[in-house]
Amino acid sequence: MGLPGEEGEFAALFERHRGELQVHCYRMLGSLHDAEDLVQETFLRAWRNREGFEGRSSFRTWLYRIATNACLDALARRRARPVVVDGGYGELPWLQPYPDHLLDELAASDAGPDSTVVAKETIELAFMAAIQHLPPNQRAVLILRDVLGWPAKEAASLLDTSVASANSALQRARETMQKRLPARRADWTREAAPSEEERELLRRYIEAHERADVERFAELLSEDVSFSMPPEPTWVAGRGEVMRFLAANGFGSPDVLGDLRLVPVRANRQPGAANYVRAPGDTEFRAMALDVLRFEDGRLAEMTAFTPDLFPAFGLPLTLDR
């Protein structure tokens, strides 16, 4: 099978796989912005090396090989390493959320991949954080084998290693993931669509913020709730500690923090809210933080607040009039 010699035709063929390649790069790198860059790098490498495609594997498999190697090269250059903190996602300063609308578009595409590519349990933040602690080669083989479901021989061939070496790396990766993932993760809901209970809990979360109602917000929290805010190495755990941390940063005090407006979002197949604040004396609500949430047993178990530069990726404006 030959590949188109015209860049426009080649780009059209590549575009059929762009979405799933971006998710693949996101799993490898943990950063939405880096994943976008690496997909473009994959296109450029594929275009430059198109004459080397001999058709012994599918075009999709060939692109995954190029994308994986591009990610491994990027990881070799990356200087950032996990920061030593007590817990939470603040130890991974590059970690970013992935907009659900991109996952929905990929799942609905006529040329879309199978459901494993966008499966909730392998895109949620807990999984994304855990996989970032794996060495790059272990990370790659785990994604290829346990996420994408590739056969051992095909995964080993992509990584230019033996089946025995790939299986050994996979076993070590699985052991690390088992230690890193939350103990009760198997009990979490696996439905990608939000439940009625989740919608109601998110509504109460938003209402408590907008009304600066400290008591109603505290009622939503589980006893062992945790709060992280990448890229800062911040992690706070326990209802009392979380409430004290938020109060120290102005929550519940509109005269200090300002008025809040929250817009519901979904990221990594989890509920979330985009926070806007109108500071005292200001006329507009300005982007402040993007919260990704996990509810468990009717309570808020985990909050992760990301920086406002991510708002455009979620189709959100940086300011609101009201």
pLDDT tens profile 80-104: 666 655 667 878 999 999 999 999 9
Residue 115's CB: how many other CB atoms inside 10 A?
10
Is 231 in a helix, a strand, or coil? Answer: coil
Token pair of 115, please?
């459901």
Alpha helices in the chain (DSSP H): 7-29, 32-48, 59-77, 100-108, 125-131, 136-142, 152-158, 163-180, 196-210, 214-220, 239-248
Are 290 and 311 in contact by the 8 Å Cβ rule? The answer is yes
Question: Is 154 found in the same domain as 118?
Answer: yes
Token pair of 221, please?
């929290």
Whether residue 223 is predicted with pLDDT greater than 70 in this model: the reply is yes
What local confidence, expressed as pLDDT, does residue 81 receive?
67
Question: Is 168 found in the same domain as 132?
Answer: yes
The mean pLDDT of 296-313, rounded to a whole number, is 96
What local confidence, expressed as pLDDT, does residue 91 receive?
82
What local confidence, expressed as pLDDT, does residue 119 receive?
80
Asked which of 131, 158, 187 is the last residue of a domain, the reply is 187
Asked which of 142, 163, 187 is the last residue of a domain, the reply is 187
What local confidence, expressed as pLDDT, does residue 182 receive?
80
Token pair of 124, please?
């949620």
- Split into its structural domains, the chain has a count of 2
Is 295 in a helix, a strand, or coil? Answer: strand
Give a yes or no: residue 1 inside a domain.
no
Question: Is 74 found in the same domain as 52?
Answer: yes
Question: Is 215 found in the same domain as 181?
Answer: no
Question: Rounded to an integer, what distance in angstroms lies between the CA atom of residue 151 and that of residue 321?
Answer: 53
Task: Tell me the per-residue pLDDT of 107-137, one tens digit each, with 9 for 90 and over.
Answer: 887 555 667 777 888 999 999 999 999 999 9
The mean pLDDT of 244-264, rounded to a whole number, is 92
Which domain does 227 fall in, by range? Answer: 196-320
